[in-house]
Structure 1
Amino acid sequence: MEAKNGYLGAPNQTIDAENGITYAYRRIGPQGGRPLVLLVHFRGNLDNWDPQLIDALAEQRDVITFDNVGVGATTGSTPSTIEQMAEDAIRFVEALGLDEIDLLGFSIGSFVAQEIALARAALVRKLVLASTAPQGAPGMHGWAPDIIGALGKPTTSPEEYVYGFFTDSAASKAAGHGVLGRIYQGRTEDRDAPTSWRTRNAQYDAVLKWGTPNFGLLQRLAAVEQPTFVANGDDDRMILPWYSHLIASLIPDAFVKLYPDSAHGFLFQHAQEFAADVHKFLDA
Structure 2
Amino acid sequence: MFTRTYHAAHPEMMAGVSNEALRDRHLVSGLFRDGEIVLTYSHGERFVIGGAVPAGKALALPAQDAPASVAGHPLLERRELGVVNIGAGAGLVTVDGEAIPLAKYEALYVPMGSREVTFAGDGARFYLLSVPAHAPFPLRKVTAADTSPFRRGALETSNQRTICQLILPHVCQSAALCLGLTRLDPGSVWNTMPPHVHERRSEIYLYFDLEAEDRVFHYMGQPDDLRHLVMQNEDVVISPPWSVHMGAGTRNYSFIWAMAGENLDYEDMDVIDLCQLR
Query: Higher strand share goes to which structure?
Result: 2
Query: Higher helix share goes to which structure?
Result: 1
Same fold? TM cut 0.5: no
